Structures are given as structure tokens and as C-alpha cells.
Amino acid sequence: MHRKAFIYLKRDNACERTMYSESHCHLRGLADDAVEGAEEAGVVLALTAGIDVASSELAIQAARRHRIVRACVGIHPWNADRYSAEARRGLMALAGDGEAVAVSEIGLDYVGRRDSEGRYVDEHIEEEIQRAAFRGQLAMAGELGLPVLVHDRAPGHEVLNILEEEGPVEGGAAVHGFSKDAAYAERCVDMGVYLSIGARAISAPGSEALLEAVRDVPLEWLLTETDSARPAGVVAVAERIAELKGLSRAEVGRATTRNLRRLIGLPA
């Protein structure tokens, strides 16, 4: 049983403030300041993702400390060579914690990675190793009945193909940091996969194809994220989506929060 999510409604110039949600962040440590800032900004739910077993355990700890935080456990494609039977057992144990609501961050990345010293390098883990780790964690999520949030920096629709090949994930799925085009987005909606819109992609130069997709995708299939250590930034993401769709920021905040709660099985 997950703890009931609390909704705080505040008055601001006689107008009710909306709620926002962060579907994918990476909190540093217990992140007291970052979470406090997010709450002040109106964030009522934030998922923090692991990139390996150790960081997944830290995500659990952060979730235990903060009522708006929930944890995701997983091995990032940058670390796919760390996926093993032992790592799987560790993730399974963590996923059994009541604070764990999804398997993430998992997926494929053939573009680049951060090395063990945190430097970004133009190389990637062997593709077959990544595919094996991705498929293994999808199977794990299926066993646990948990949703997955996937990282996709692979050509074309390979990530979506693998999601289909592995069968429907009982708990649902989302593509985090969506950065592709309308055809990809349409396929996601057809598959019942949410699209999480991130701060960097939606504000990047030359992102016309992404912006077109965001305009066209029904709001009930969108989530908001920062992919950072500062979840308060989702307010700006909601603002940009609102501009693209001709909606108010409040409408976007309420809808994307409702979507995220539905994905992870919390009351709407």
C-alpha cells in the first residue's frame, strides 16, 4: 500500500494554485533543500530514479524522508554492464519496499555516457549488453507489476519495439525525456505509453518536431520532468506545454499530476 498523496491547495492573489509533478529526477542524497523548494513551487509528487543498485537504495531513503517523493529502482543503460543476477536480486529486494513505485532508469543509449568519474564521454556500453539489461529489467517489472520509465537514445523505434516484444508491462510505461517526433509519439499513445516532457528537450534550439508532437499528443498522455536534482523546474515545463497547447499552466499541472498518479497507482 502506498501512502496517500497529499494535495496542498494554496491561495495566490485570490487564485487557487495548481499542483505539479516530477516524473523523473535524480535527487542528490536526502535533498532537503531541493524538496523544500519543490513543495514551495507547488510540486506534490516527485519520482527520483536510481541508475544502479546503490543509487536506487538512496532513492528509497529519500522517499522515506519526504512525503512528496517516491522512488524508482533500476540500472541505467550507461551502467548496463553492471546488470547481473546479483544486481537483479538487489533491485528486486528494493522494489519490494513500499516507497518504490516504478522500475527506472532503464532503456537504451547509443549516443554517449558518463564514465565512472562523472565525465561525459562519446562512447557507449555494447549494444547487446544494453539490450539484455533492458529486457531483463522489463521482465522484472512485469513480475512485480510495476510500471517502467524508459530512457531512449537509440535509433528509430527500437525501444518501443522491445517494449512490444516483451509484452505489455502490467503496471504501464512512460518514455522519459521524450525528444522524438509525432510519428513516435503517435505510436506511444497507440501502445498506451506516456510521454514525459523534459526541460532541456522542450527548450532546445531546433526542436520543432518535438514541439509539434507535444501540440498534437492528447494531454492525458503527457507527464512533466526535469531529469535533474531540482524538481521545482517542472513548473516551467508545464508553462511551456501550456503555451504550446493554448491551455493554462494550472490545467497542465493538474492533468499531468493526475496522469502520473494513474501510472504509479496512486489515487487521482
How far apart are alpha carbons 65 and 69 in whole angstroms? Answer: 8
Backbone φ, ψ for residue 243 (5° rounding) = -60, -45
Q: How many helices (H) and strands (E) does the chain have?
A: 10, 12
Say if 1 falls within a structural domain: no
Confidence of residue 156 (pLDDT cuts 50, 70, 90): very high
pLDDT at 43 > cutoff 80: yes
Are 45 and 18 in contact, with CB atoms under 8 Å apart?
no
Say if 4 falls within a structural domain: no
What pLDDT score was predicted for residue 224? 98
The domain in which residue 260 lies consists of 11-264
Say if 5 falls within a structural domain: no
**DSSP-based three-state secondary structure for 175:** strand
Say if 184 falls within a structural domain: yes
Say if 76 falls within a structural domain: yes
Say if 2 falls within a structural domain: no
CATH number, domain of 216, equals 3.20.20.140
Say if 231 falls within a structural domain: yes
pTM recorded for the entire structure: 0.91
Confidence of residue 4 (pLDDT cuts 50, 70, 90): very low
Say if 234 falls within a structural domain: yes
- Structure confidence by residue, pLDDT tens digits, 175-229: 999 999 999 999 999 999 999 999 889 988 888 999 999 999 999 999 999 999 9
Backbone φ, ψ for residue 214 (5° rounding) = -65, -40
Q: Cβ-count burial of 16 within 10 angstroms (0-12 exposed, 13-18 middle, 19+ buried)?
A: exposed
How far apart are alpha carbons 34 and 145 in whole angstroms? Answer: 30
User: For the chain, how many structural domains are there in total?
Assistant: 1
- Structure confidence by residue, pLDDT tens digits, 116-147: 777 878 889 999 999 999 999 999 999 999 99
